[in-house]
Amino acid sequence: MYRFQWIVVLLLAAGSCSKQEFDTLMVKQDSDIERYADTFADSLVTVTSGVWRITKEKGIADVVVARGDSILFNYKAHIFSSGPGQLFDTNIYEDGVAAGFGHELHYYSPRKSLAGRGHLLEGLERGLSGASKGERFYVVFSARYGFGSVQTAMVPKNSPLIYEVWIMDVKKN
């Protein structure tokens, strides 16, 4: 029985170390993202709950994405590496074919989603909130709001992400 208790204590200690390491990594990623965002002195940069949105082109100010709205958008998703790194997903045909993703045309169409309903990665959801129709921007976030400590397809575990997004339409619901 005594040996079993020591095993449990060691497992708990190992688990807390990995959480502490993850938290330290998230702080570093946030710092790297903030440093990158600071290079956009001529752009509007907003930070909402640990997610940066860097506006490259302003949209229509009176058509703003709110929770429950239907949105239509194009995107390019990259692993963040002091800026857009490896492309891992897109709905833009030319970029997808150039990256070797394939030629299935049905995949390359504007993405439809309901804002704030959990249909997208948490970081992307947060970055879309408050964006406007016609706006083009980057959404940048740490692994905490992406895929976390899980490897997903081409995205290594604990990877910060950067999405380039073009809001094509917003329908108020």
Tens-place pLDDT, residues 82-93: 999 999 999 999
- The three-class DSSP label of residue 104 is coil
Cα(56)–Cα(72) distance, integer angstroms: 18
Q: Domains for the chain: give ranges and CATH numbers.
A: 2-171 (3.10.50.40)
Residue 115 contacts by C-beta under 8 Å, 6 or more apart in sequence? 65, 66, 67, 68, 69, 70, 71, 125, 128, 129
Cα(122)–Cα(129) distance, integer angstroms: 11
Q: How confident is the model at residue 17 (pLDDT cuts 50, 70, 90)?
A: low
Q: Specify the pLDDT at position 9.
A: 38
- CA 92 to chain CA centroid, Å, is 17
Residue 12 has pLDDT above 50, yes or no: no
CB atoms within 10 A of CB 146: 25
Residue 15 has pLDDT above 70, yes or no: no
Joined together, the tokens standing for residue 146 give 């992406």
Number of residues that make up the chain: 173
Q: Specify the pLDDT at position 61.
A: 85
CB atoms within 10 A of CB 126: 21
Residue type, 18: S
Cα(172)–Cα(13) distance, integer angstroms: 49
Q: Specify the pLDDT at position 123.
A: 97
Joined together, the tokens standing for residue 59 give 């949209």
Least confident of 51-55, 63-67, 78-82, 143-147: 63-67
